[in-house]
Amino acid sequence: MNIHEYQGKEILSSFGVRIQRGIVAHNAKEAVDAAKELTALTGTGWHVIKAQVHAGGRGKGGGVKIAKNLKEVEDITGQIIGMDLVTPQTSAEGKRVHQVLIAEDVYYPGANEPEEYYMSVLLNRSTGRNMIMYSTEGGMDIETVAEETPELIFTEEIDPSVGLMPFQARRIAFNLGLSGNAFKEMTKFVMALYTAFDKSDSSLFEINPVLKTSDDKIMAVDAKVTIDDNALFRHKDYAEMRDIREENPVEVEAKRVGLNYVDLDGNVGCMVNGAGLAMATMDLIKQAGGEPANFLDVGGTADAKRVEEALRLILKDDKVKAILINIFGGIVRCDRVAQGIVDACKNMGDAVKVPIIVRLQGTNADIAKEIIDNSGFNFFSATEFQEAADKVQEALK
Ligand code: GDP
Ligand code: MN
């Protein structure tokens, strides 16, 4: 589950990670009140107005702006709220901004220049260990740094039996070129950041930039936080941070009815039981010259109700030109599944506008084929994999 920057910062702060402080606002009036409250708290006169959407690169898209006084806080908030923010990480339509974070300006002048670093915490899947990835090149996209100057990206792997060790935090501060108070601050920052990652059951933290202020404080200016969905049952307070406006509506609906659905860009919808078969089916669609429109695993039950729910989800996508149902009937007998498909289509009537290729294999596959063939619907039946691929190709023509 992804959350907003202001929510990510709340979590970080609760574990003692220093953050750029801010208050969320839903309109210009709230923004001005927030700015006044922050000034009282921090003494800052300037504020940063930051669009809260689930996408990075907001600065580049005009979603992060400096306000030098309350009038500018009001005007800029008015401009940003309600806009469709387009960034390198959104679609061309952008993302509607419903709220902004009014944050203290932390790039104030002082003894030193402020410096920006990059830091993320994530799982290294090849070693099965968490790692901290960091770089002196903060503030820009890390993909560009990785491509142009990979030697400026460092990693520190964490042994799960002992956790992050203080010497590792010191190595990070050293590699970032820090000394004196900034060095101490960075080691504290890194230790707290890792504790927050671990205790919050997050699967990704990306802090870009981590800032060294002109008076040598280290703080998180941005926070991209992804929490492991499977751990939300033990973090009720985080679960409430879900903002479904930011999520794909079809995926939200799928979750509600308990289907495993991921939206993709292609033209062939698929309905499959079992994740492995789903992946093989997506390969099959590609081989037939199509592109999968989704990943959908209906799981162990494929009765009429479930088939109907799945078909309705798939048909919400207008790009879908054909649907491939590929079900292995082991415990669920194929004839039952076939009857389920026919009943679902009867219930849906005109809603089914595209050809459906049905491949049922396993117990009673022959009876199932008869049911499909005699249904009177726009079905193509297949029993073999290749046959199904050919029929998809035909249907797309
Ligand atoms: P992103 O563009 O979505 O990654 O949003 P960030 O939160 O990283 O903000 C974008 C950029 O805004 C940062 O890289 C900073 O350069 C700038 N920025 C953020 N906070 C401040 C601030 O307090 N003062 C100034 N002058 N710039 C800031
Ligand atoms: Mn950022």
Q: What is the pLDDT along the chain (397 residues), one digit of tens a residue?
A: 999 999 999 999 999 999 999 999 999 999 999 999 999 999 989 999 999 999 999 999 999 999 999 999 999 999 999 999 999 999 899 999 999 999 999 999 988 899 999 999 999 999 999 999 999 999 888 999 999 999 999 999 999 999 999 999 999 999 999 999 999 999 999 999 999 999 999 999 999 999 999 999 999 999 999 999 999 999 999 999 999 999 988 899 998 888 999 999 999 999 999 889 999 999 989 988 899 999 999 887 777 788 889 999 999 888 999 999 999 888 878 998 899 899 999 998 888 889 999 999 999 999 999 999 999 888 999 888 888 988 998 988 8
Write down which residue in 230, 247, 264 finishes a domain: 247
- Regarding whether 258 and 243 lie in a shared domain, the answer is no
Cα 208 to averaged position of ligand 1 atoms, centre (Å): 9
Does the beta carbon of 139 lie inside 6 Å of ligand 1?
yes
Give pLDDT, residue 380: 92
- Regarding whether 134 and 2 lie in a shared domain, the answer is yes
Cα 332 to averaged position of ligand 1 atoms, centre (Å): 54
Write down which residue in 55, 81, 105 finishes a domain: 105
Nearest atom in ligand 1 to the alpha carbon of residue 56 is: 3
Nearest atom in ligand 1 to the alpha carbon of residue 222 is: 7
Closest of 181, 218, 223 to residue 200, by C-alpha: 223
- Regarding whether 184 and 78 lie in a shared domain, the answer is no
Q: Which residues are annotated as a binding site for substrate?
A: 273, 330-332
Does the beta carbon of 49 lie inside 6 Å of ligand 1?
no
Residue 82 CA to residue 96 CA, distance in Å, equals: 6
Does the beta carbon of 107 lie inside 6 Å of ligand 1?
yes
- Total domains in the chain come to 3
Distances (CA, A) of 82 to 3, 19, 95, 294, 365: 19, 26, 9, 30, 54
Does the beta carbon of 56 lie inside 6 Å of ligand 1?
yes
- Regarding whether 221 and 79 lie in a shared domain, the answer is no
Residue 124 CA to residue 130 CA, distance in Å, equals: 6
- Regarding whether 243 and 267 lie in a shared domain, the answer is no
Starting from the CA of residue 57, give the closest ligand: 1
Cα 210 to averaged position of ligand 2 atoms, centre (Å): 9
- Regarding whether 258 and 181 lie in a shared domain, the answer is no
Q: Treating both helix axes as pointing N-terminal to C-terminal, what angle do 334-348 and 365-373 enclose, rounded to 10 degrees?
A: 20
Q: Which domain holds residue 180?
A: 1-20+108-247
Does the beta carbon of 221 lie inside 6 Å of ligand 1?
yes
Does the beta carbon of 85 lie inside 6 Å of ligand 1?
no
CATH number of the domain to which 363 belongs: 3.40.50.261
Cα 351 to averaged position of ligand 2 atoms, centre (Å): 43
- Regarding whether 158 and 114 lie in a shared domain, the answer is yes
Residue type, 275: A
Give pLDDT, residue 140: 82
CATH number of the domain to which 146 belongs: 3.30.470.20
Give, rounded to a whole angstrom, the gap between the first and last alpha carbons of the chain. Answer: 39
Q: Please give, one letter per residue, the 3-state secondary structure of 16-77.
A: CCCECCEEEECCHHHHHHHHHHHHHHHCCCCEEEEECCCCCCCCCCCCEEEECCHHHHHHHH
Does the beta carbon of 336 lie inside 6 Å of ligand 1?
no
Catalogue the active-site residues. Answer: 118, 206
Q: Which residues are annotated as a binding site?
A: 50, 57-59, 106, 116, 208, 222, 273, 330-332
Q: Which of 222, 225, 246 to mutate to test the pocket of ligand 1 (most atoms within 8 A of CB)?
A: 222
**114: cis peptide before it, omega within 30°?**
no
Query: Strand 322-329 relative to strand 268-272: parallel, antiparallel, unpaired?
Result: parallel
CATH number of the domain to which 59 belongs: 3.30.1490.20
Give pLDDT, residue 78: 97
- Regarding whether 137 and 255 lie in a shared domain, the answer is no
- Regarding whether 331 and 226 lie in a shared domain, the answer is no
Sign of CA dihedral 298, 122, 224, 191: positive
Starting from the CA of residue 89, give the closest ligand: 1
- Regarding whether 178 and 112 lie in a shared domain, the answer is yes
Write down which residue in 215, 247, 279 finishes a domain: 247
- Regarding whether 307 and 211 lie in a shared domain, the answer is no
Q: Which residues are annotated as a binding site for ATP?
A: 50, 57-59, 106, 116
Does the beta carbon of 360 lie inside 6 Å of ligand 1?
no
Starting from the CA of residue 118, give the closest ligand: 2
Distances (CA, A) of 270 to 79, 206, 315: 42, 34, 11
Give pLDDT, residue 77: 98
Give pLDDT, residue 56: 94
Residue 266 CA to residue 281 CA, distance in Å, equals: 13
Starting from the CA of residue 5, give the closest ligand: 1
- Regarding whether 331 and 208 lie in a shared domain, the answer is no
Nearest atom in ligand 1 to the alpha carbon of residue 55 is: 3
Give pLDDT, residue 120: 98
Burial class (CB in 10 A: 0-12, 13-18, 19+), 364: middle
Residue 271 CA to residue 342 CA, distance in Å, equals: 14
